[in-house]
Structure 1
Amino acid sequence: MAKTAATASSEEFEAYCAVEHQLGVLFRRSRALSAEIGRVVHPGLEAGAYSLLVRICEVAPARSTDLAAYFGVGKATISRQLKVLQELGLIEREPDPVDGRAHLLDLTDEGRQRLDRARSGRRQRFHALLATWPTEDIRLVGRMLARFNALTGEPGDPYA
């Protein structure tokens, strides 16, 4: 039988609460950092649009429907965000050669350069934050986060 909050000992419950609290802190700080990095990419970029830009970079050429599913948002929301990215000159749309009704999205050269600069700054910041940690501790955090992320499913599934 799998343990639930109701069957966990008080020590286990405290451990779960500590993880939940620290994840909340991490998520809040991550959103703030995304907003900050988004402004490095372009002053008019919102935090959510930064994540969208990163995802397009990872999977390009991308379809808007796939992006909407990945982020768990509707077509109207993703269309608005993509329009802003395009107006800022960060992405471009090309007709899909397979489906003439659809478009494929990719970063422009300018978008890629701006994203690369922002990511480089983010990596330098992480390096500075973790500079005093032993390498094995950094690896352990990476492994534990990967293990946790494997349990939690894809974005858009809050209870995976």
Structure 2
Amino acid sequence: MAERAQFEELARQLSAVGAVKRDLGRILPPGCPGGSAAALTLLGRHGDMRMSKLAELLAVDMSVTSRHVAHAADRGWIMRSPDPTDKRSRILRLTTAGRAQLDELSRRTTELLAERLSTWSDDDLGHLTRLLTRLRENFGDCRSAPRLAHVVSAPPSVADRNTRTPAQGT
């Protein structure tokens, strides 16, 4: 098994991936926030689906998914139609405009990655992709509770310390 120091360094590197995500977020087309982009991407990859399935794939609550879908539907990227098997549910489907938006998202993302990783070999890119896929698979559904034998609690935040009553102590 890997040494603790290796896991600590991995945690630092994964934290730094936030900078990559922010950079990718900056290239989103105007009027297309990350949540809508993620919904379009999943519909493009998996095809028509119920809102509940999209929420599951996004690993967010239905209320959050509903906001993303409403935003995309208001722009004509997603069509919501009654589910023939359950009239209370809606089937989500990409529209022609949604496919065009998804193509634009893909183009922008691909161009940025190609620019930033231009010095990487094909083997390095393939290796990174395989490792990230494996990492994601090992984490499974990120909505589930961590499977730790013990959880080390972080020290209380300043907000936590300021909201404690005298009976709770410091």
Scaled by the length of structure 2, the TM-score of the pair is 0.76
Unpaired runs of 5+ in structure 2?
Answer: 148-170
Where do 1:121-160 residues align within 5 Å? 121-157=108-144, 159=146
Corresponding residue number in structure 2 for 1:99? 86
Distance in 2 of aligned mates of 1:16 and 1:44: 38
Deviations 1:17-53 (A, max 9, x none): 11111111113431x2453243x1xx22222221122
SS of residue matched to 1:100: strand
- What is the deviation of 1:85? 0.9
Corresponding residue number in structure 1 for 2:25? 35
Give the conservation status (yes or no) of the 8 Å contact 2:59–2:141. no
Match of 2:70 among 79, 83, 87: 83
Corresponding residue number in structure 1 for 2:13? 22
Q: Which structure: greater helix fraction?
A: 1
Distance in 2 of aligned mates of 1:81 and 1:138: 31
Please list every run of at least 4 consecutive aligned residues from structure 1 whose deviation after the TM superposition is greater than 3 angstroms: none
Deviations 1:131-156 (A, max 9, x none): 21222222211221122122111242
Letter of the 1:19 counterpart: L
- What is the deviation of 1:158? 5.4
Scaled by the length of structure 1, the TM-score of the pair is 0.80
Letter of the 1:72 counterpart: A
Inter-CA distance 158–51: structure 2 relative to 1 (3 Å threshold): farther
* Alignment: residue pair count: 147
Distance in 2 of aligned mates of 1:72 and 1:129: 28
Unpaired runs of 5+ in structure 1?
Answer: none
Give the conservation status (yes or no) of the 8 Å contact 2:24–2:112. no
Letter of the 1:18 counterpart: E
Corresponding residue number in structure 1 for 2:33? 46
RMSD (CA atoms)? 2.0
Match of 1:61 among 42, 45, 48: 48
- Percent of pairs with identical residues: 26
Inter-CA distance 70–134: structure 2 relative to 1 (3 Å threshold): closer
Distance in 2 of aligned mates of 1:34 and 1:65: 26
